[in-house]
Chains A and B, each alone.
Chain A
Amino acid sequence: MTRPIYMDHSATTPVDPEVFNEMIPYFTDRFGNASSIHLYGQDARRAIDKARAQVAHLINAAPQEIIFTSGGTEADNQAIVSYMLANQNKGNHLITSAIEHHAVLETCEHLAKQGFELTVLPVTPEGMVEADVLQKALKPASRLVSIMHANNEVGTIQDIKELASISHAAGAVFHTDAVQSMGKLPIDVKAMGIDMLSASSHKIYGPKGVGCLFIRKGIRLPSLLHGGGQERKLRAGTENVPAIVGFGKACELAEQHMAERAEKLEKLAHRLREGILTTIPNTRLTGHPSQRLPGSVSVCFQFVEGESILLMLDSFGIMASSGSACTSGSLDPSHVLLALGLPHEIAHGSLRLTLGKDNTAEDVDKVLEVLPGIIATLRKMSPLCN
């Protein structure tokens, strides 16, 4: 079989060997608990401090503004739940968008079930949250606005600076889920006016099971987990030192290579998008034409179903994903595609190819070589086509 081609980097990425090498000693020789005052404990403490500085530097935050979590999901939960619980005496309204990751949407909906008031903002057909739509939703009781930076399914990038500034003017705090963008797009939390930001290591060539929450100095946010006093009492639980070290290194490398990777990914993605559109009829791109995550290609093919496309691609060693019902594990296609206003029958034919730093032009050409045949085969089988 030919070399497998991985084009599902928005799902997860391989750990960079440089990152892995940094992590190794912290599993065995340097295994201390960072809360211990002895030699090994202090060694672990210094390793965490270094990682915290690496993460903070990537987004122009101060190290004290970063707490490590078990990943993006936990960071989203803490930002939303802890903030709303701590501030409910001042207002119980929160705002999010219809295209958020489930880590945000389900969390907001959980709060709504507990009696908080939730507004879920619609988006444009390109996946943009419009400033005036947010403006109209804000009211004196609004405490928190949570809108993602880059979308995981269609890649649309929001104008965070503007959305944050509108939120602030109405007296609300602004949180963004930057799991898909941190390390891939420039982020300056100060210049953009971000109060809280969630990020995850495994999307940027770091290990799984670690992420962070940025909490701007001046924002009071209690811990979500109760227990020990780790992370300045903001996140209880013994720190996952090797993972944190890996996340720190991944951030350092992402910062170093951001511009060059983005340029390469955009070139490849452009070739892939154009190739698909010129060789496969009845196809449409989803998401925003220009404001999109580098390397993200999302399309819908009419008359065919996403899971079938994925399995056929997989038989050629090509790994991708889809927002069709069968792959979302429910009876409906992905909530993101539906929020863009795509009809069910179109959304069922979705395909997402997300490129990464190790993909090559040959990988793209291989996809372009087999994909038209796959779609043609499935269409020949489809009663919608005949």
Chain B
Amino acid sequence: MYSQKVMDHFMNPRNVGKIDLASGVGEVGNPVCGDIMHIEIKVNDEDIIEDIKFNTFGCAAAIATSSMVTEMVKGKTLEEAERITNRAVAEALDGLPEVKMHCSNLAADALHEAIKDYMAKRETASA
């Protein structure tokens, strides 16, 4: 049912955990639906995502997409990260079963929330 890549990221998830003094935090989903993705990023002075970690509650697709998105954006600029879509994450995993495309494919949304949070904090700090 799942691709080998999904199973690999599910069984050996990359970048699980939290970041001390994260620059931005994003969370999407809720426990009632059965999926929550929490992503933390650390952004350096050149607007590069230096570090990224996740915590996810959910099925294999939810965990694998979270893991994959962290790999895709580590070392990328915020601009590049903002352009990553849920679909692109699914494609990087060689696809997801159709039913999972809607409910469990939210990792890029969580990343974008984290970036938004960072931007908002930066704004307040410079204001």
A-side residues, CB < 8 A to B, are: 303-308, 311-312, 315, 324-326, 329, 331, 333, 343-345, 348, 380-384, 386
Instruction: Write the nearest CB–CB distance from A325 to chain B, whole angstroms.
Output: 5
Q: Which of B54-62, B76-84, B86-94, B115-123 touches A? A: B54-62
B58, chain A: closest CB distance, angstroms:
5
Which one of B13, B34, B56, B60 contacts A344 once the chains associate, using CB atoms below 8 Å?
B34
Question: Are A381 and B13 in contact, with the CB atoms below 8 A?
Answer: yes
Closest 7 CB pairs of A and B: A345-B31, A383-B38, A383-B55, A307-B59, A326-B59, A348-B34, A382-B57
In the complex, the chain B residue whose C-beta lies closest to that of A345 is B31
Task: Produce 1/0 per residue, B8-33, CB < 8 A to A.
Answer: 00110100101000000001000111
Any chain A CB within 8 A of the CB of B73?
Answer: no
Contact indicator B33/A325 (Cβ below 8 Å) = yes
When distances are taken between beta carbons in the complex, the residues of chain A under 8 Å from B27 are 383
Contacts of A329 in B (CB 8 A): 99
**B7 contacts which chain A residues (CB < 8 A)?**
311
**Bound complex: CA A106 to CA B40 (Å):** 44
- Which residues in B have their C-beta under 8 angstroms from that of A343? 32
* Chain B 98-115: CB-based contact to A (< 8 A → 1; otherwise 0): 011001100000000000
Q: For the complex, what is the distance from the CA of A303 to the CA of B27, rounded to whole Å?
A: 16
A251 vs chain B, min Cβ distance (A): 35
Binding site for A on B (CB under 8 A): 2, 7, 10-11, 13, 16, 18, 27, 31-38, 55-63, 99-100, 103-104
User: How far, in angstroms, from A343 to B30 measured CA to CA in the complex?
Assistant: 13
**B34 and A308: CB pair below 8 A?**
no
Q: Which residues of B lie under 8 Å from residue A312 when comparing CB positions?
A: 11
**Smallest Cβ-Cβ distance to A347: which chain B residue:** B34
| A381 and B37 alpha carbons, distance in the complex (Å) | 10
Cβ of B57 and Cβ of A384 under 8 Å apart? yes
Contact of A382 with B55 in the complex, beta carbons under 8 Å: yes
Q: Can you list 23 residue pairs at the A/B interface with Cβ under 8 Å?
A: A303-B57, A305-B35, A305-B57, A306-B59, A307-B60, A308-B58, A308-B60, A311-B2, A311-B7, A311-B60, A312-B11, A315-B11, A325-B103, A326-B59, A326-B104, A344-B34, A345-B31, A380-B16, A381-B55, A383-B36, A383-B37, A384-B57, A386-B18
| A331 to B62 alpha-carbon distance, docked (Å) | 14
Question: Chain B residues with Cβ under 8 A from A325's Cβ?
Answer: 33-34, 103
B18 / chain A contacts, CB cutoff of 8 Å? 386
Complex Cα distance A110/B67, Å?
A: 43
Name 20 extra pairs, CB < 8 A, besides A324-B34, A344-B31. A306-B59, A307-B60, A308-B60, A312-B11, A326-B58, A326-B103, A329-B99, A331-B33, A331-B103, A344-B33, A345-B31, A345-B32, A381-B13, A381-B57, A382-B56, A383-B27, A383-B38, A383-B57, A384-B31, A384-B36
**Complex-state Cα separation, A176 to B10, whole angstroms:** 42
Inter-chain contact B63/A381, CB cutoff 8 Å: yes
CA distance A345 to B34 in the complex (A): 6
Q: Give complex CA distance A135, B35 in Å.
A: 41
Closest to A381 in B: B16
Q: Are A311 and B16 neighbours in the complex by a CB distance under 8 Å? A: no
- Chain B: minimal CB distance from A18 (Å): 34
Q: Are B34 and A333 in contact (CB under 8 A)?
A: yes
